[in-house]
Amino acid sequence: MKQSKSPQQKKALFYHKDHHLLAEYPHSFARTWPRKKARANRKYRRQVRQILAESARQDERKDHSAVSIRSLPVRRDPVRKWGPPLSMREWVTSRLENRLRRTAWNYFKQPYDRNRQQARFVGFLQEITAGHSGYSRQLARCMNALLDPPEPVEPMRSVGGLWNSSQAQLWLSAFLSDEPEWEGHLRHWIRRLLL
């Protein structure tokens, strides 16, 4: 008799077995992929038939010394998929990482407003300092560059490809002047991830 799975087991199995296709229209992929392969195979077979028919016509001629099959080989058109499918675990992780990056950018793109952004940014910092993924390390490097810039900040330099450094550094310094205990928390989190 088949044993039923717990919700945790079902979710672990879902993350392990299911995949997310990177196709533009993933549901139509199952229908269009065989058509794409069949079209390439038809073209290949048609070219081979044309060469064989051309050589048969040359055989019917009286001049057998002029018989030659075309020397150029017939190649099948490559049919490839655009990138491997991501496992559901990788897909969910990448979506969460993109959400964190966009959320940080939504804070840094405007001047700091204590009344409107202070409490929400504290929640955001609690969220990112709880993570331990590879993307958390990238965020830690970016936050480290904002806290301790290696050189004088240039006006339009980006930090790790995520944010405009001068604007983000001004924003973060204004936030840390209101919430000084978060500077110690951030530095401890950065040291823990980068060392």
Query: Kind and range of the H or E element at 25?
Result: none
CA-CA distance, 163 to 142, in Å (whole number)?
A: 9
Q: What is the pLDDT of residues 19-70, one digit of tens each?
A: 887 777 878 888 888 999 999 999 999 999 988 888 888 777 755 555 455 5
N- to C-terminal Cα separation, the chain: 50
Report the SS3 class of residue 163: strand
Cα dihedral sign, 80-86-91-93: negative
For residue 122, give every residue at least 6 positions away whose Cβ sits within 8 Å of its Cβ, in sequence order, or none: 179, 182
1-5, 47-51, 134-138: range with lowest mean pLDDT: 134-138
List alpha helices for 27-113, DSSP H. 29-60, 88-108
This prediction has a pTM of: 0.54
* Residue found by looking up tokens 């009286």 in the block: 62
Q: Which two tokens stand for residue 112?
A: 């700091």
